[in-house]
Structures are given as C-alpha cells and as structure tokens.
Chain A
Amino acid sequence: MSTTRAVPAASRPGRPADATAPVRRPPDRAGTWRSRLYRFDVRYVPYLLIAPFFLLFAVFGLFPIVFNGVVALRNWRLDDPTLTGWAGFANFARLLDDGDFWNALGNTFGIFVLSTVPQLLLALIVASLLNRKLRAQTWFRVGVLLPYITPVTASTLIFTVVFARDTGVANWVLSLLGVGETAPIDWRSTKWASWIAIATMVNWKWIGYNALLYLAAMQSIPRDVYEAAAVDGAGPWRQLWRITVPMIRPVVIFTVVLSTIGGLQLFTEPMLFDANPALAQGGDDGQWQTIAQLIYKVGWRDLNLGYAAAMSWALFLIILIVAAVNALITNRLGGGKR
C-alpha cells in the first residue's frame, strides 16, 4: 500500500474537451516544408508525448506481470540454473497442498479484515468530523496525514518497539488497565495477538488518508440535500449514515477496492515485525506470514522463482475476486441498485 492512489472509478476520460480542434490555417503553398512540419506536429507529436509513458509501462509494468505467468509454468531456480524447461502446472499443483501457502492465505485475510473494516469505518467518522465548520481546519487535515507520510518501514519498526513484550509501551498501558499485569501479552506468540498488532499498524497508517478521500467526496455533496432531509429530523449521526455515506458511495467502493488490493499484498509490516526480519518467516510458526512475504521467502531465500511466480499469480486471481466481491457487497450495503 505504498503508492499514491486516485479515484478513477467515476472518471470520464471521454469527456469531449476538444476545443483544441485543429487550428484553421491559411493554406501556405510557398512553405510546403513548413506545412509538412506542421502536419507532423499536429498529427504525430501527440503520440510522441504519450509514448514514454506507454513504453516504460509496457516494459516495466505490464511485461513483468505477463512474463510472471511464463515463469510460473517453468522451472526457474536461482540455486540450480541448470534446471530449466517447462514445468507445466507443477508449480500450481504444488500450491494446492502447500500448508505454508494456505496458512499465509489465512493470515493475509485475517489481518486484512482486522485492518480494513475499522480503518474505513473510522475514516468515515473522522471525515465527517473534518467536514464540520472547524477552527484550524488545515491543521487538522495535515495532522491526520502524519501516518501517511511516515515510511511504513519506519512506522513498523516503531510499532515493533511499542509492542515489545517486556519493554513495550503497549503492554505497559494495558497493565495500567489491569490487563496482563503478571503475564504480559506476547504480541508475537499467537495468531490473534500478532494479527491485532499488525492490523493496528495498517489502521494507523491509512485512516487519515482515507478520511481525506471521503472528505473530498463529502464536500462535493450539494448542501441542499441536507436541507431537504431536515424533514426526517436527522441528527448528525443519522445524517452521516443516511445521507452522506450513500451520497459518496463511489468513493467508498473505490477505497474498499484499493484497500483490498493493498491489504492482500501486505508485506512491510509482517516482514519487519519479525524478531529476525532476515528470515521472512512471519513468526516461529508463520503465525503472521502473509502471502507477499511468503513469495519473498520462496523466491529469494529458497531461491525458487518459478514457484514464487505461481504464488504471485494465485494472489493476483484472489485479489481480483475479492476486490470484485467487496465492491459488490459495499454497493449493496450502501443501498445501490446495481
């Protein structure tokens, strides 16, 4: 979840904005060279302008994804370069009864649910509060972006210290509240504890960012919508759920999809939460090893790139399906017709 996002969902790329229609120029017989140049400029230069993007994207964005599929069907081991050739679906078949893969899949979903749901709900609430008439408005908006700007690497390391069993401030605060006074919680030892710790990091990172996305959408709701709803006698809370959220449904769906794409590829947090990050094992029993982390381990520690590529493809498919399902569910919940 480290790249910038935008809302393409509702964009209208085909908007007719063609006031730039070719300029009418007097035919210039004397300067055919000039006019040829001009024609070239108008007809072909636009392609030149967009070419760098498409070229670079094709080579370094699209090709790897496609080529990944090829790699997945081959033997491709860094530790045995002589072992090559087509492997057919062997790598995919191996996935089916690889306990590590299913374990990682479970962890990925567990952490995903624990992080996405609170993240988006809280973001909605924060956004609705930011949408009020506030003093120091900019200050608040910039403030909620602190986590977004902090490198995930750095914040994960901080949280690792916060969640340390014996010296961590999380356990100290909990002990003040009477939790784990004698036996402090070992945040790395069980699935649940480690999932909660990691989900906390993810929530921390993205609540503010999502809140700003929601805020942007909220501000584009016409104000008279609220006035019309006055008849209902909606208080601020009901106003939020009954009017605001349905009005910004496209953005909500968009953030759900993006959180799905990002959440299912979670890598940095589980990586650096390990007591020994170099092992990429996600706990002694892989209790919080995510798929992205497993791909890294299989590819660059076990040196089996073919198998890692097959895992990547499996993850790709899973993401597509889950993103679609989530979008549908959100649409339903939001009262959408389609």
Chain B
Amino acid sequence: MSDVGTRRAALMGRAPQNTPGSLWSYLFLAVVIAFSAFPLYWMFVIATNTDEALAKIPPQVIPGGELATNLREVFSMQDVFFLQSLVNSVIVSSVVTASVLFFCSLAGFAFAKLRFKGRNALMVMVILTMTVPNQLGVVALYILMGKMPGEGGWNGTLLAVIVPGLVSAFGVFYMRQFILDAVPDELIEAARVDGASTMRIFWSVVVPAVRPAMAVLGLLTFVATWNEFQWPLITLGGTDYPTSMVALSDLASGNYVLYRRVLAGALVATLPLLIMLFIGGRQIVRGIMEGAVKS
C-alpha cells in the first residue's frame, strides 16, 4: 500500500519526460504496435498461402510457402501491367522527389535568407496554399491535362501525375524553417564578400548545410507520391500505363479477383516503403515531428 503511495508521490510534479514508463505503458504501447503491424503481417500470411489454406476455418495464421507462385501470377497478369506499374511508380516518385528537393530548397533559401520586396506576404501565401484541398480541383485538372500539347493531352501519361507534384508548399515551408536555423548568416555574408553569386551561395553554402533536411523531405515526398491514388486513378485508370497504386486497384477488380493475388501485389507495392522506413525511420520520425514544432 505505502509503496503505491510513495510512487504516486514521486510521480507528482514530474514532467512526463522524466517519468519512467510503467509496465502498463509498455504494455499499452506494445498493443498499439501490434495493432499497427497486424494488417501487414496478415498481408504476408495471405500472400504466401493457397486458396485452400485461406478458405479454412479457423483461418490460417502462419505464413505459407506459396509467395513465389502468387507473385508469378500477379506479374504474369497482362492486363494489370504490374511490373510496368512499379517502374512507373519509381519514375514518378523519383522525379517528383528530386524536383521537390530542388525547387523547395531554392525557394526555402530565398525565403529564409534573402531580402526582397513582398517576401513576407509571399511566404504567407505559401502557407495558405498548404490548406487548399487540392483534391477538389480534380475535375478541372483533368480538363486542363486534356488540353495540354500532344495527342489527347497529358491524361493517361505519367506527365499528368508528375507535373502537379513538382513543387510542394510543405517543402518550401519545411526547407525555409530548416535553412533559417541551419545556415549561419555570417557564412552567407562571408561568401558574398568573396564575390559569390546567389546561386553559388546556394550550391556551396546552403546545400551542404541542409542535406539532413533534404533527406527528411525527400523521404516524406517519396512516400506521399508513391501512395497517391485518387488523381492517378482518374488520369491513368484504364491505360496500359498505371502507377502501382492504380495497378493494385485493377488487381482488386475484374472477374478473377483472388485475395492471395491481390495481397501479394500489395506486398510488393508496400515493400519499398517498408524498407525505407527500416532504413530511414529515424529521419521520417524527425521530419514529422519537426514539421509540427518548427513554427
């Protein structure tokens, strides 16, 4: 009894950061992690089993050995263009990431360290654009893409999914915040005195200093682009040229939809991101948390 009492007393007035996690908090967090991981585990179970194993009750709860068979089926479904879709997703996500990193660090640098008329007003605009729900413009975007140069416009081509993603307001905002702190003004001033132009300063002073931020922004952008669904579905749906998310939805429609195949496909489309989380998890966590606080 008194033990509990003293513990309670010890807890009082202590910041949570200084409070060691109790057994309960570990347990609760473990449940949360299990809940988070379960669907992914389940995807693996289904993707590695046969139809018969999955039809059993109680259900099969351990992975089987049929992953290779299921994957072969997925990749050989001509109409789904699965391999092509993975290539497309890599192209789209890489180009968008590269472009966002480049243009957003440029703009972030300008907003953080350069002085020009209307700077603050323009920065407010950038922030406001973050709250615009872009998805609501899809109808007009579709019409716009149809009017782009080329036969039939850009709809149905990767351009339609790449170009609108080339810049991001979040990217500008995030890079600005980082450059503000990470690049000492004296350094820039010194470079100026040496006669360096703005671009030169960007390349040789700013870029080296913000590499960590670029890693974070790059990871977040890549993930978000890879996972994009609605707009790619609208513009690329029904073509031979889908992204992997659209191909996944194709895999789930049609006459021969089998769960093991659908989830084998989902596994492949998720794997690159799981690997990224495994390698860059720390950066992604940091990116999200910094995005929240740096303000």
- Residues of A with Cβ closer than 8 Å to B? 2-15, 17-23, 25, 41-43, 45-47, 49-50, 52-54, 56-57, 59-68, 70-71, 76, 125-126, 128-135, 138, 140-147, 149-155, 157-162, 164, 167, 169, 172, 204, 207-209, 212-213, 215-221, 223, 225-231, 233-236, 239, 244, 251, 257, 261, 265, 267-268, 271-272, 276-278, 292, 295-296, 299-300, 305, 308-309, 312-313, 315-316, 319
Q: Within 8 Å CB of A143, what residues of B?
A: 32-33, 36-37
Is B75 an interface position by the 8 A CB rule? no
**A145 with B170, Cβ < 8 A, contacts A13-B124, A204-B35, A265-B133 known:** no
Q: Within 8 Å CB of A17, what residues of B?
A: 112-113, 180, 185
Cβ 8 A contact of B25, one of A129, A225, A233, A312: A129
A33 and B239 CA atoms in complex are apart in Å by 54
Cβ 8 A contact of A8, one of B55, B109, B127: B127
Q: Within 8 Å CB of B123, what residues of A?
A: 13-14
The answer to whether B133 touches A316 (Cβ under 8 A) is: yes
Cβ 8 A contact of A45, one of B198, B263, B292: B198
Ranked nearest first, the 3 interchain pairs of A and B with the lowest CB-CB distance are A230-B13, A64-B137, A19-B185
User: How distant is A83 from chain B, measured CB to nearest CB, in Å?
Assistant: 15
Q: How many residues in B have their beta carbons less than 8 Å from beta carbons of A?
A: 130
The answer to whether A277 touches B185 (Cβ under 8 A) is: no
Q: Within 8 Å CB of A133, what residues of B?
A: 17-21
User: How distant is B9 from chain A, measured CB to nearest CB, in Å?
Assistant: 9
> B195-224 CB contact bits vs A (8 Å, 1 = yes)?
001110010000000000000000011011
The answer to whether A239 touches B270 (Cβ under 8 A) is: no
Cβ 8 A contact of A216, one of B36, B119, B292: B292
The answer to whether B229 touches A152 (Cβ under 8 A) is: yes
Q: Within 8 Å CB of B39, what residues of A?
A: 147, 150, 155, 158-159, 162, 204
Q: Within 8 Å CB of A71, what residues of B?
A: 139-140, 143
Is B273 an interface position by the 8 A CB rule? yes
Interface residue ranges of B146-172 to A (CB < 8 Å): 163-164, 166-170, 172
Query: Smallest CB-CB separation from A314: which chain B residue?
Result: B136
The answer to whether B136 touches A312 (Cβ under 8 A) is: yes
Is B1 an interface position by the 8 A CB rule? no
The answer to whether B116 touches A312 (Cβ under 8 A) is: no
A132 and B18 CA atoms in complex are apart in Å by 7
A235 and B22 CA atoms in complex are apart in Å by 13
The answer to whether B57 touches A147 (Cβ under 8 A) is: no
For this complex, 11 residue pairs linking A to B, each with C-beta atoms less than 8 Å apart, are A4-B221, A13-B123, A45-B199, A49-B107, A63-B140, A142-B282, A150-B40, A154-B267, A207-B32, A227-B13, A276-B253
The answer to whether A204 touches B36 (Cβ under 8 A) is: yes
User: How distant is A150 from chain B, measured CB to nearest CB, in Å?
Assistant: 6
Is B134 an interface position by the 8 A CB rule? yes
A42 and B32 CA atoms in complex are apart in Å by 52
The answer to whether A52 touches B167 (Cβ under 8 A) is: yes
Q: Within 8 Å CB of B130, what residues of A?
A: 5-6, 8
User: How distant is A104 from chain B, measured CB to nearest CB, in Å?
Assistant: 15
Query: Smallest CB-CB separation from A150: which chain B residue?
Result: B270
Q: Within 8 Å CB of A230, what residues of B?
A: 12-14
Q: Within 8 Å CB of B137, what residues of A?
A: 61, 64-65, 67-68, 312
A77 and B122 CA atoms in complex are apart in Å by 37
Is B106 an interface position by the 8 A CB rule? yes
Cβ 8 A contact of A53, one of B43, B104, B252: B104
Q: Within 8 Å CB of B180, what residues of A?
A: 15, 17
Cβ 8 A contact of A57, one of B131, B169, B259: B169
